[in-house]
Structure 1
């Protein structure tokens, strides 16, 4: 299993939980040395915007699980570059996105879309393009509400977008819960080619 964006908040959870599940993990990040050493963990250094380095890091991947995110001051196009490289690798992809982006916009509701437009205005085109690239490649896009810290919830549910219960605002969900749901999908590929939402 290859984890892209392995040193971010969700990425670290993906690595930790994938190892706990017994997977051999290839962790791709700009500075993977921040991850713990483990005999089943291979650290690969690649900047998402360095196309040749990222292509080499993803070469041979069977399943790519992405915890790639955007932080303040990030160069525009980071998510799109990562999604396109993942799609070009031929691997199966499980991609994290925000609820309200792309096909999840109608399910998120008007207020959530308005808030995203106000607070993520500069990031939205990148998030939209990345989501579209993953879906076009037959990957699964996992949408989640605002992320928090904390343990995974045993009651987590992964639902197709039309099955999401109506709510004024999306539920807050821990990164650990999202990581667990993404690994569930990577192992089962139950929703391959479709957008889904994770609920705590």
Structure 2
């Protein structure tokens, strides 16, 4: 399988890139600064410079892509709008499948997350609007959006599972989950699609 990974130099993007290579995938890894994609070199890895605020660079990088996985987040100091710009640039390139990283408690998962989480997330302001807008665009195009709880360290969970919003356990606060587990769940979805056009929630157990 050939996958393209957006924001491959970020924490989730690096996990996606490394794990995809471990699964034997061919990987095109995109980042503003490709040298920051700090995974071992592989004949199945191509690092490409691309910026979500430069749609032409994304279009070139995604030409002919079958599956795009996004680890895109909002970096400290970035202006709001990176996620919306990224979703538009990716969708305009018309890849076969889009698997997008969102956040539990935003947009469609806000109600399931509960009042306490919704209240905390309101402090995100424009960043929250950016997340919701980007997720909505991906879902409307038939992509899958992963809404995970707060990130933690650690390896991929060997007992991980992915559920829909209606199956998500109700807790006062969402359970923490390692970035490696989220990346593994996204790659599971790339291999065996189950949540096209839906929000998927990765769980460690």
TM-score bracket relative to the smaller structure? over 0.9
Aligned partner of 1:59 among 54, 59, 63: 63
Aligned partner of 2:117 among 108, 112, 118: 112
Shift in Å at residue 190 of structure 1? 1.0
Aligned partner of 2:161 among 157, 163, 173: 157
Which sections of structure 1, spanning at least 5 residues, go unmatched? none
Task: State the partner residue of 1:97.
Answer: 102
Note if contact 2:58-2:93 (Cα within 8 Å) is conserved in structure 1.
no
Distance 2:65 2:112 in 1: 32
Shift in Å at residue 114 of structure 1? 0.5
Distance 1:102 1:58 in 2: 27
Shift in Å at residue 56 of structure 1? 0.9
Which sections of structure 2, spanning at least 5 residues, go unmatched? none
Pairs aligned (count): 199
Distance 2:194 2:143 in 1: 11
CA RMSD, 1 decimal: 0.9
Structure 2 residue 13 is the aligned partner of structure 1 residue 8: no
Shift in Å at residue 17 of structure 1? 0.2
Task: State the partner residue of 1:169.
Answer: 173
TM-score, structure 2 length as denominator?
A: 0.95
Distance 2:74 2:18 in 1: 21
